[in-house]
Amino acid sequence: MFIKIAFLVVFFAVMIGVGIYCRKQSTDVNGFVLGNRSVGPWLTAFAFGTSYFSAVIFVGYAGQFGWKFGMASTWIGLGNAFIGSLLAWNVLGRRTRVMTQHLDTATMPDFFMKRYDSKALKIAAAVIIFIFLIPYTASLYNGLSRLFKMAFGIPYEYCVIAMAVLTGIYVVVGGYMATAINDFIQGIIMIFGIVAVIWAVLRINGGLGSTITMLSQIQAEGTEMKGAFSSFFGPDIFGLIGVVILTSLGTWGLPQMVQKFYAIKSEKSISTGTIVSTVFAIIVAGGCYFLGGFGRLFGEAGPDGKPVGGFDSVVPTMLENLSPILIGIVVILVLSASMSTLSSLVLTSSSVLTIDFIEPIFFKKKELGEKKKVGIMRIFIVFFIAISAIIAIIQAKSPVMFISQMMGVSWGALAGAFLAPFMYGLYMKRVPKVAVWINFVLGVGISLASFICNMAGVKFASPVLTYFQSPINAGMAAMIIGIIITPIIAAITPSKDVERVEQIFSCYKKTHTVSSKHSIDET
């Protein structure tokens, strides 16, 4: 117990110390929200990766999908690395940085307003972000607190309150720069932590070969075939594809992820950041899902085929017999993952509420000063953390939803609403406002319909409707529909504001002189 507590004390001291160190860089909106757009490649890459992976991944998703798909769940982590990180940086990174600086936008709703010339879009996007980031944030507390209860025997409510207070302190004091530096420290912990945990868990059953052999003897529900959980694509390839798409492509439309590209410092930062974030995702996400794939060796299946104690208990059960030092490492690992994501979410939500909702609605006639804006953001950080903590405590006493469901609803609504209009807004000149509104309605509507059907216990006769009743598959459908219909709507809608749009896209026509080591002279 002394070792575990010592780890926590040092960890919290470092996090708060970084927040105090960065307070001087958080005096205006640009510094508080974007770190003055001067964040280097390693900090940006780790900020992207640690915001991506949290206790939801380590406890919720790894537990549930490792149980469902076995070793094939590793594909989810690889999809996160190559689609959610590598491809995202290449497709969105540079264009996001250039256009958002050209438009002088600090948030995604502000981008929608200036790109599509609509204040209504800005307010609608701000409301969607605020509403759907709350269940996502609540799910972070849930996953972390289960491990704290396993390691320390501390009641759930105290874990939630402690995490909320400590995260709030360093984000309120230090803003984005404190978040980025702490993300880097937390990311290093996550890398070494997941490697150590995988090694320790595999040793329990005699190493990798013996563990895979044991897993191959378990029979999948609904089939007489053994070995499905150790096979290449697992027992449910279509369910696996849905998870890969939502958790990988979904990051392209999440405001807390995309906003990391706003703060990129230079071209070199993009090249380095792409590699670093991809490697980070391979190790952390690939490692989490690979570890979760062995969950059936440690948990007992109930009559319905689900683990006794629920999906969220799978990973804590795997870890409860490790040595005190390794359990301490696990706690710090998941604490790092959760606090980094939580800090990103609350900073995104508070900046969106202040810049895109409070100011345009309540301060139409006078402009807020920089200090007042930052002050309001700090107030909303506290408010957002408090609301999400209360919801997390209430939800913990109800068995209605487990972690991955909460995250699935949030990801589906946000990514379904924002992915297509944001991505096409960077590349296509003819995207009309009506296409953006349709994406907002579809993204939120499909996710809410799935959520309501699940809450009401609706059972569909059609296997297709049953498939899309899952929040994960519903979110995937919302994203894909948006990607398909947006260019179709653009093609049949007359072009408007051609001169304004040309001026926006002129930012890509600027030329830069570079040295020969970066570009070969063809003459």
pLDDT on residue 523: 44
User: How far is Cα 279 from Cα 283, in angstroms, rounded to an integer?
Assistant: 6
Q: Which residues contact 279 (CB under 8 A, 6 or more apart)?
A: none
- Select from 3.30.1060.10, 3.90.1010.10, 3.40.50.300, 1.20.1730.10 the CATH code of 2-403: 1.20.1730.10
Interhelix angle 74-81/237-249, nearest 10 degrees: 30
- CA distances from residue 5 to 2, 147, 152, 322 in whole angstroms, order as listed: 5, 14, 9, 16
User: How far is Cα 179 from Cα 185, in angstroms, rounded to an integer?
Assistant: 10
- Bin 104: left if φ > 0, else alpha if -120 < ψ < 50, else beta: left
Above 50 in pLDDT, residue 390? yes
pLDDT on residue 152: 66
Ranking 212-221, 381-390, 394-403 by mean pLDDT, the lowest is 394-403
User: How far is Cα 265 from Cα 304, in angstroms, rounded to an integer?
Assistant: 52
Task: Name the residue among 465, 347, 484, 366 with its Cα closest to residue 424.
Answer: 484
Q: Are the C-beta atoms of residues 53 and 190 closer than 8 Å to each other?
A: yes
Highest mean pLDDT: which range of 413-422, 451-460, 462-471: 413-422
- How many Cα atoms sit within 13 Å of 61 on the Cβ side? 35
Residue of 170 and 79 predicted with greater confidence: 79
DSSP characters over 158-170: HHHHHHHHHHHHH
Interhelix angle 74-81/267-292, nearest 10 degrees: 180
Taking the domains of the chain in order of start, what are their residue ranges?
2-403
Task: Name the residue among 184, 187, 146 with its Cα closest to residue 163.
Answer: 146
Strands (E), 114-250: none
Task: Name the residue among 350, 153, 373 with its Cα closest to residue 259.
Answer: 350
pLDDT on residue 399: 54
421-439 pLDDT, tens digit per residue, is 999 999 999 899 999 999 9
Above 70 in pLDDT, residue 150? no
Place of tokens 């359990």: 327
pTM of the model: 0.81
Mean model confidence pLDDT for the chain: 80
User: How far is Cα 366 from Cα 99, in angstroms, rounded to an integer?
Assistant: 27
pLDDT on residue 116: 92
Per DSSP, 28 falls in state S
Tokens for 422, please give them: 């944001």
Q: Which residues contact 120 (CB under 8 A, 6 or more apart)?
A: none
324-339 pLDDT, tens digit per residue, is 777 777 777 777 777 7
347-374 pLDDT, tens digit per residue, is 777 777 777 777 666 666 566 667 777 7
- Mean pLDDT, range 75-93, rounded to an integer: 91
User: How far is Cα 70 from Cα 68, in angstroms, rounded to an integer?
Assistant: 6
- Mean pLDDT, range 140-163, rounded to an integer: 69
Band the pLDDT of 420: cuts 50, 70, 90.
very high
188-242 pLDDT, tens digit per residue, is 888 888 888 888 888 888 888 888 888 888 877 766 667 777 887 878 888 888 8
H or E segment to which residue 375 belongs = helix 370-396
Give the CA dihedral 26, 30, 33, 37, nearest 10 degrees: -110
